[in-house]
């Protein structure tokens, strides 16, 4: 996004989840502006400021201009009062008179008190912290506090409560237009309200804990709900874009033709719509096992990201392609079974023999007649053998490897034999051990989180692929 938009005032929005705190630090360390969103907790805010300062230190240490990096920490305000007030109301219904008065006195107080303490931490940090002072010398600017969700959900508190009570130096308030109009028209207060009644704010939050309401528990729940709402909104955005795309492109969308029985096609369309509307596509990309049985399905979904991973390491496949061409092998034989041989077979049939590259053959049968037929078509001294086995323990490819390795040993010697073999297997497998002992030319690793039938674009499909298919990746 940062590179595509290419504007210095862009801020990339990242939620303040435990998983995203390291991402925030990483982005800042690369000089990318960040809007840290969905902040509710002072504890989490402290983690966010540390991520910002650490990221700036890293960026500066690598020669970056820290004065160019900007960030805000977006605290969501009114949602906190709504959540806490709901819990207080439940307790008020069951409380005795004296306890009821104490509970009622806490209604609508939590969010602003929480914001005041966050602002106190902000001021202390950016005024006294030695790490920050060193960065400020280089022109770094503080990560401003931003107040979000500042329209009043409970109108009994007044329309501009979260405007008048959240005024302070170096802060931002993303006021909804309607709230801004009311504040402007009524001539609302504009004193530096964030620095007043700080002790009262501390006492109020302590009282909240005393009556049995955990602010940490509330803010954790708000964060989880907020992330879910953001994700659902993004799903709706993607659906809207897809519908617009279909409207504009019409028949130009998905030009590949296919035909399914009418009843089956209706079920397929219904299922696709359900996955879009209920966020199941997002769950899939999040590797959420709850889509199925909730057991270990998430451990077998690494195929979702394999294309990007292959593109990031494409140079190794391209180097192999050029190496094999330079060595002038006449033939390449894939020794594999099932998922290890299916994609190479499709690519062989699709692309055929490529000029300047060895002709690919597939051996996935222990039928002696088929093995003999293959041998009659090749010169094994001019052949590259690719032993492909995910587990490394599959009987058939191991037998193939032993047979052809022995045949080559007899003709060329042990050292030359190993030089004509490549292994494709998961890390730590028996085949890896054999390949290392017999000094194979190369070992390419699979991804343990990809099942055999889903391995087409992993090394199991791409290592034996004809050269054009490297471009397909």
On whether both 6 and 70 belong to a single domain, the answer is yes
Calpha distance 197→181 (Å, rounded): 27
The pLDDT tens digits for 66-87 are 999 999 999 999 999 999 999 9
| Position 102 in a domain | yes
pLDDT number for residue 256: 65
pLDDT number for residue 97: 84
On whether both 124 and 240 belong to a single domain, the answer is no
Q: Number of folded domains in the chain?
A: 3
On whether both 245 and 335 belong to a single domain, the answer is no
Calpha distance 40→186 (Å, rounded): 29
∠ CA 133-137-140 to the nearest 5 degrees? 85
Calpha distance 154→82 (Å, rounded): 8
We report the CATH number of the domain holding residue 134 as 3.20.20.70
Whether 377 is a known active-site residue: answer: no
pLDDT number for residue 279: 83
On whether both 133 and 63 belong to a single domain, the answer is yes
Which residues form the domain of 273?
233-250+260-305
| Other CB atoms within 10 Å distance of the CB of residue 406 | 10
| Position 456 in a domain | yes
**pTM of this prediction?**
0.63
On whether both 125 and 240 belong to a single domain, the answer is no
Calpha distance 175→262 (Å, rounded): 52
Highest mean pLDDT among 94-98, 148-152, 259-263: 148-152
Calpha distance 22→224 (Å, rounded): 18
On whether both 74 and 115 belong to a single domain, the answer is yes
Question: What sections of 257-379 are H helices per DSSP?
Answer: 262-277, 280-285, 306-312, 314-327, 339-351, 368-377
- For tokens 């323990």, the residue is 393
The pLDDT tens digits for 9-32 are 999 999 999 999 999 999 999 999
The pLDDT tens digits for 360-406 are 999 999 899 999 999 999 999 999 999 999 999 989 999 999 999 99
What are the two backbone dihedrals, phi and then psi, of residue 390, each rounded to the nearest 5 degrees?
Answer: -60, -50
| Other CB atoms within 10 Å distance of the CB of residue 262 | 8
Q: CA-CA distances (angstroms) from residue 263 to 85, 267, 296, 455?
A: 51, 6, 32, 31
Average pLDDT over the chain, rounded to whole?
A: 91
The pLDDT tens digits for 205-261 are 999 999 999 999 999 999 999 998 988 888 888 888 888 888 888 776 666 667 889
Q: CA-CA distances (angstroms) from residue 324 to 95, 341, 469?
A: 81, 20, 15
| Position 115 in a domain | yes
Catalytic annotation, pick one of 3, 13, 116, 270 = 13
The pLDDT tens digits for 429-461 are 999 999 999 999 999 999 999 988 889 999 999
pLDDT number for residue 5: 95
On whether both 299 and 316 belong to a single domain, the answer is no
On whether both 121 and 149 belong to a single domain, the answer is yes
Which residues, 6+ apart, have CB-to-CB distance to 412 below 8 Å? 381, 420
On whether both 244 and 391 belong to a single domain, the answer is no
Which residues, 6+ apart, have CB-to-CB distance to 95 below 8 Å? 103
Calpha distance 1→17 (Å, rounded): 20
| Position 227 in a domain | no
Which residues, 6+ apart, have CB-to-CB distance to 428 below 8 Å? none
| Position 220 in a domain | no
We report the CATH number of the domain holding residue 382 as 3.40.50.10490
Instruction: Pick left, alpha or beta for residue 32 (phi over 0 → left; psi -120 to 50 → alpha; otherwise beta).
Output: beta
On whether both 159 and 45 belong to a single domain, the answer is yes
- Residue 468 predicted with pLDDT over 50: no
∠ CA 128-131-136 to the nearest 5 degrees? 80
Which residues, 6+ apart, have CB-to-CB distance to 84 below 8 Å? 106, 110, 111, 208, 213, 215, 218
The token pair that represents 158 in the structure block: 């007044």
């Amino acid at each position: 996004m940062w590179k595509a938009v290419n504007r210095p005032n862009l801020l990339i929005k990242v939620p303040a989840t435990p998983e995203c705190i390291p991402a925030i630090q990483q982005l800042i360390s690369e000089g990318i502006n960040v809007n840290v969103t969905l902040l509710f907790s002072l504890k989490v805010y402290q983690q966010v400021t540390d991520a910002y300062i650490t990221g700036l230190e890293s960026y500066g240490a690598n020669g970056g201009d820290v004065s160019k990096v900007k960030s805000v920490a977006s605290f969501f305000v009114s949602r906190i009062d709504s959540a806490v007030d709901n819990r207080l109301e439940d307790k008020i219904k069951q409380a005795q008179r004296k306890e009821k008065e104490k509970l009622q006195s806490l209604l609508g107080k939590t969010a602003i008190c929480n914001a005041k303490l966050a602002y106190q931490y902000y001021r202390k940090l950016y005024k006294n912290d030695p790490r920050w002072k060193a960065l400020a010398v280089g022109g770094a600017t503080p990560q401003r506090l931003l107040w979000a969700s500042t329209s009043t959900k409970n109108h009994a508190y007044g329309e501009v409560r979260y405007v008048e009570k959240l005024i302070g130096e170096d802060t931002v308030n993303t006021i909804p237009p309607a709230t801004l109009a009311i504040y402007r028209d009524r001539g609302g207060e504009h004193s530096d309200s964030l620095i007043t009644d700080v002790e009262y704010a501390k006492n109020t939050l302590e009282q909240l804990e005393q009556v049995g309401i955990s602010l940490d528990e509330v803010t954790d729940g708000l964060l989880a709900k907020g992330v879910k709402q953001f994700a659902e909104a993004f799903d709706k955005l993607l659906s809207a874009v897809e519908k617009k795309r279909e409207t504009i492109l019409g028949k130009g969308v998905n030009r590949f033709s296919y035909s399914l029985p009418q009843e089956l096609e209706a079920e397929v369309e219904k299922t696709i719509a359900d996955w879009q509307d209920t966020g199941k596509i997002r769950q899939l990309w999040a590797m959420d096992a709850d889509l199925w049985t909730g057991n270990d399905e998430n451990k077998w979904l690494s195929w979702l990201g394999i294309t990007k991973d292959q593109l990031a390491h494409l140079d190794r496949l391209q180097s192999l392609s050029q190496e094999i061409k330079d060595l002038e092998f006449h033939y390449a034989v894939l020794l594999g079974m099932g998922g290890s041989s299916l994609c190479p077979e499709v690519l062989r049939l699709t692309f055929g023999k490529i000029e300047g590259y060895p002709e690919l053959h597939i051996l996935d049968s222990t039928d002696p007649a088929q093995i003999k037929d293959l041998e009659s078509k090749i010169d094994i001294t001019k052949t590259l053998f690719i032993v492909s086995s995910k587990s490394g323990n599959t009987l058939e490819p191991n037998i193939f490897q032993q047979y052809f390795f022995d045949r080559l040993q007899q003709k060329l010697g042990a050292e030359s034999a190993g030089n004509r073999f490549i292994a494709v297997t998961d890390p730590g497998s028996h085949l890896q051990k054999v390949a290392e002992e017999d000094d194979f030319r190369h070992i390419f690793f699979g991804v343990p989180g990809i099942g055999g039938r889903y391995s087409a674009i992993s090394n199991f499909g791409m290592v034996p692929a004809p050269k054009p298919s490297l471009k397909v990746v």
